[in-house]
Amino acid sequence: MATDEIVKSDQITTEGQVIEWVPEGTINVTELTPQKRLKIAIIGPPKGGKSRLAATAPRKKVFFIDPINRLASVSGMPDVIGKTYLEAPEPNISRAWESLVLDINNFFYYKAKGYTIPGTIVVDDIDFVMDLAMRKFLVDNQNNSDDVKIKRIAGEDFLYPRSFNPYTNNVMMVGNLIAKIEELGTDLIGIFHERAEEAEDSTPKVRKYTGKLTVHPPRAENFLPLFNELWRVTPSYDGKSYVVQVRPGDKFDGATCLNLDTEEIADIPAMLAKHNERTIQNNGKV
């Protein structure tokens, strides 16, 4: 299991002398390497290879959080497992969010007992998990007419946000879920759908765009600082493989801590092997 190396204060020295003032739990970043704990945000168009790329994650087993019943998209991938969290068919009932949070909490229990837990957790994808959180908030607060609007259609009660509170809490709930996964110590991959980035002076009536690509929905941008890597994957020109952009370009501001080219073949172990080879060639430490 990959975890950040936490050192005791008496383990950090300068020229052989113990640094007494270093707080307990300080991390010696000199010893860290980018691949020691992978935290990757992957964006791309629909059917663009995002899930298949995530399924190549090197730390097994790879566990997919699937909110839309699409585990077949990674069928046949070795050491990949997952669970689908479908909502109740009744629009005023929530069950998926509680099931998801319970399973993440159970990973903490299994880890404390010394059992094996996933090496990588993939949230596939973030915007649909945000929908699960939104449904949970609306159902729990449906008696609060300031925040929730109820509209009866064909004999069923549909719930809608009436204020900013559902959206704010939606971000907080998913952010807390990501924080829980981070605390587990596993590698983390978040998958995002992409959209055209709107300019600051864009309005609902007159849309203006920057020419760049970013994540959907707009409030999902709150989660990007939680990831060290920001990649975009798209089908290659031959239609038989996929290409990953990991560095800034004209349309996408990618980011990476790895020693890679701007574009790479969509295979995480191969990308890490290239990083390691280049690091060794530069007399670095893998």
* All structural domains of the chain: 1-32 (no CATH), 37-230 (3.40.50)
pLDDT at 63 over 90: yes
What is the predicted pLDDT for the residue at 34?
Answer: 81
What is the predicted pLDDT for the residue at 30?
Answer: 75
pLDDT at 1 over 80: no
pLDDT at 108 over 70: yes
What is the predicted pLDDT for the residue at 16?
Answer: 57
- pLDDT higher for 36 or 212? 212
Q: pLDDT tens digit string along 231-252?
A: 999 988 776 689 999 999 999 9
What is the predicted pLDDT for the residue at 7?
Answer: 46
Q: With bands split at pLDDT 50, 70 and 90, how would you rate the model's confidence at 90? A: very high
Q: With bands split at pLDDT 50, 70 and 90, how would you rate the model's confidence at 87? A: very high
Mean confidence (pLDDT) of the chain: 90
Q: Which of 6-10, 151-155, 271-275 has the lowest mean pLDDT?
A: 6-10
What is the predicted pLDDT for the residue at 13?
Answer: 56
Q: With bands split at pLDDT 50, 70 and 90, how would you rate the model's confidence at 281? A: confident
Q: pLDDT tens digit string along 171-219?
A: 999 999 999 999 999 999 999 999 999 999 999 899 999 999 999 999 9
Q: Which of 37, 33, 98 is CA-nearest to residue 226?
A: 37
pLDDT at 78 over 80: yes
Q: Which of 3-17, 63-77, 124-138, 151-165 has the lowest mean pLDDT?
A: 3-17
Say what percent of the chain tops pLDDT 70: 91
Give one DSSP letter per residue of the chain, joined into a string.
Answer: -----B--GGG-EETTEE-TTSPTT-B-GGG--TTSS-EEEEEESTTSSHHHHHTT-SSSSEEEEESSS-GGGGTT-TTEEEEE-PPPSSTT---HHHHHHHHHHHHHHHHHTT----SEEEEE-HHHHHHHHHHHHHHHTTT-TTTEEEEEETTEEEEEE-SSHHHHHHHHHHHHHHHHHHHHT-EEEEEEEEEEEEPTT--SSS--EEEEEEEESGGGGGGGGG-SEEEEEEE-TTSSSEEEE-SB-SS-B-B-SS---SEEES-HHHHHHHHHHHHHHTT---
What is the predicted pLDDT for the residue at 4?
Answer: 46
Q: With bands split at pLDDT 50, 70 and 90, how would you rate the model's confidence at 284? A: low
Overall average pLDDT of the 262-274 stretch: 95
Give pTM, 2 decimals. Answer: 0.90
Q: With bands split at pLDDT 50, 70 and 90, how would you rate the model's confidence at 11? A: low
In order of 17, 21, 64, 270, the CA distances from 13 in angstroms are 5, 11, 41, 36
- pLDDT higher for 148 or 1? 148
What is the predicted pLDDT for the residue at 18?
Answer: 65
